[in-house]
Amino acid sequence: MKKIIAITSCPVGIAHTYMAAENLEKAGKAVGAEVKVETHGSIGIENELTARDIEEAAGVIIAADTKIDKSRFGGKPLITVGVQEGIHHADELVRDILAGKAPVYKSTEAIISSENKSESENLGKKIYKSLMNGVSYMVPFVVTGGLLIAISLTLGGTATPEGIKIPEGTIWATMNSIGSIAMGLMVPILSAFIAQSIADRPGLVPGFVGGMLAANGALYGSDANAGFLGGIITGFLAGFIALGIKKVRVPKALQSIMPIIVIPILGSLAVGFVFIYVIGEPVALLFSSLTHFLAGMQGGSEIVLAMILGAMIAFDMGGPFNKVAFLFGSGLIAEGNYSIMGPIAVAICIPPLALGLASLILKTKFTKTEREAGKASLAMGLFGITEGAIPFASTDPLRVIPSIVIGAMTGSVIAMLSGVTVSRAQYVQKYDESAVVWCANLLGMETGQLKEILRNVSVHYREFWMRKRKGGYRMISAPNKTMQSIQATINSRILSPVTMIHPAAVGFRNGHSVVDNANPHLGKRYVLKMDIHDFFFSIRSPRVKKTFEKIGYPENVSKVLGTLCCLHRHLPQGAPTSPSLSNIVSYEMDRKLAALAAEYGLTYTRYADDLTFSGDVFPKEQIIPRIKQIIRDEKFEPNHKKTRFINEYGRKIITGVSISSGVKLTIPKARKREIRKNVYFILTKGLAEHQRRIGSSDPVYLKRLIGELCYWRSIEPDNSYVSDSIAALKRLEKGY
């Protein structure tokens, strides 16, 4: 009996590996030949070929989509095909070996290098193999974590007004925590083993580090992590960076430490910096803008909003788009809007339920592994865990993701049209009756009117985009007259008398201006300017409620007051109460930063979200990391792009005020020149001619220019030119 040896392997290492092995063995039996198959599966090499097996073999069949070492088969007839060929054409492969049609393999360096070159040229295949490698290691984490969470909720969960909750201290709570840890490792594992497939073991550490970065949105200023799509990005990024470093020629003395020290360290740093600064921050800004965009759509078509939210939920299955949509819906519930969360809840369940049912009903369309994942996906879908669909999406994203997005959009729209919503009785914020009555008396309004406002705070705002002076836009949330009156009363009667504001905070305070922020830094050699990313947005409603409690109000009253001061679960930019609350909330951060500054002999001030440090000796390498850590400890995030360290020769401008002279405050030279130019042309050519020349039709142009001059005078009160210009323009104004 003739003997044939074979190797089968697929990227996932489960179904196709063993299907090809089985079919090759059956094909051998059919023609009276013995076929011994070495399988390279997920649990390692099984049925390993011996030297004797190779010697006795009439030929070799390699049916694999992974890299296989062929050096031991030199001088043997050898056929190399993909694993799918081993499944579907096993009989042809066996007959070709027996008929002597297979070419003899010559194990030479030239051939090996040629093969490697050929493999490297097929980038698409390499990307596919790497992705499948990551998925194969990720799937057990998704299945394990999802099932543990589902079981713990089923057996240990209790229905509450906020949904199913597991009592603390129970065995089910412990099981839920274990499941959450397993799910949390999903993205790092995916990233790590994509990188490992590309660059071998040296890619493992950069890939895992990159995956952890993708799973931790706080590092790049996002409320949501980058999800499995972020893990795929960091995996390929880490893999190709590590591969690039591997190819760098180094002295022999360094070669031994390259895979264990040099490549992991350099690769991790490169991936980290690229993801945080090049990818992460723009992504964080995108999702912040998305939140504002969704907020602006509330007054529009609910059907369109439902479609958008459904698509976001399904697109990345627990990633940033999913989280933004979910948090948006949750925020509306807190404000009394219950219509949106129902469609969102439907969209959450559709991807895992649809794919789980498809794998059970259409069994021939799915592998054994996918059918097993489908069972877990079905269980997760019943509890609203969208991540159950990730194994399918990762394997075939181009078909799966568009399908589930369309399905989720359809389900979301149907839910909206059908009036599917969360129950008010279940989810409405419960306000203590006595607290509502007390607040109504404080605000001088009827209790019923206040209750109606509390049911839906968002309808009492008008939101619009305002252009920033230095480019870009910011969302302004302007309260209507009723809400503005309420917030003005809260501000004057509750917030203004509060003394829990640090002296270093000079913004949003009566009798203080940008002059008070810049003046303490005058004459200092070094200046560090930093900025807090999305300052008001970072101050969430639970924090606002706690602030009222710290001031001295009971929890039930603080809940009402906090709701009246927040929009979309954060401080709105445009509300009269937001500036005062931001200063009170920031007290602890200001205290810690002021203490740090004093430790190094520095001066510290804060004007809204602008932080300034100055001193004659400034060890920035020591101080900046500590500043950033304090900011993060206080639940804010530094805006890395706006961090500026200015040496003694640099142009020092703090909140629009120049301290560069070291002697006196002034406004920047460029601004001076612009104002002087405009004043000169108005006084010599006339206002109408000047506006025609610059193409301005602003009816209050002259008033604006006088306002700029008044601001200049507030910085330089002794400047005679400014005073004379103001007087001359006011005379001109009266003439008009």
Residues labelled catalytic: 10
What 578-582 contacts at long range (C-beta under 8 Å, 24+ apart), as own/partner pairs, is 578/536, 579/507, 579/508, 579/608, 580/491, 580/495, 580/496, 580/498, 580/508, 581/495, 581/539, 581/544, 581/547, 582/508, 582/535, 582/536, 582/539, 582/608
Task: Say if residues 376 and 25 touch (Cβ distance below 8 Å).
Answer: no
Q: How far apart are CA 544 and CA 260, in angstroms?
A: 48
C-alpha span between 454 and 482 (Å, rounded): 12
Task: Please give the structure tokens belonging to residue 395.
Answer: 């394997």
Can you say whether the dihedral through the CA atoms of 531, 533, 534, 537 is positive or negative? Answer: negative
What would you measure as the largest C-alpha separation in the chain, in angstroms? Answer: 115
Do 265 and 224 contact (CB within 8 A), yes or no?
A: no
DSSP 306-338: HHHHHHHHHHHSSSHHHHHHHHHHHHHHHTT--
Q: Residue 44's beta-bridge partner residues? A: 41
Q: How far, in Å, CA of 493 to CA of 113, rounded?
A: 80
Q: Using CA atoms, how far apart are residues 498 and 159, in angstroms rounded to an integer?
A: 40
Closest CA to 35 of 90, 110, 99: 90
Q: At what angle do helices 541-551 and 578-585 cross, to 10 degrees?
A: 80
Element (H, E) at 462: strand 461-467
Alpha helices (H) in 31-170, listed in sequence order: 51-56, 83-88, 90-98, 109-121, 123-156
Please, what is the end-to-end C-alpha distance for the chain in angstroms?
Answer: 112
Strand 603-607's sheet: what is its strand order?
Answer: 603-607, 610-615, 526-531, 644-646
CA distances from 385 to 180, 348, 355, 357 (A): 11, 7, 13, 15
Instruction: With beta carbons less than 8 A apart as the criterion, state whether 339 and 333 touch.
Output: no
Count of CB atoms within 10 A of residue 667's CB?
20
Buried b vs exposed e over 170-205: b needs ≥16 C-beta within 10 Å?
eebbebbeebeebbebbbbbbbbbbbbbbbbebbbb
Sign of the alpha-carbon dihedral angle for 711, 716, 719, 721 = negative
Crossing angle of helices 186-199/204-214, nearest 10°?
Answer: 150
Q: How far is the C-alpha of 437 from the C-alpha of 96, rounded, in Å? A: 89
**Stated length of the chain:** 736
Which residues are 4's β-sheet partners? Answer: 35, 59
Provide the β-strand partners of residue 612. Answer: 529, 605
Q: Kindly give the residue spans of alpha helices, DSSP state H, lying in 383-446.
A: 390-395, 397-417, 424-427, 433-443
d(CA 237, CA 570): 35
**Cα gap 399→402, rounded to integer Å:** 6
| Amino acid making up residue 177 | S
Beta strand extents in 184-330 (DSSP E only): none
d(CA 652, CA 662): 9
Q: Judge whether 520 and 611 are in contact, CB under 8 Å.
A: no
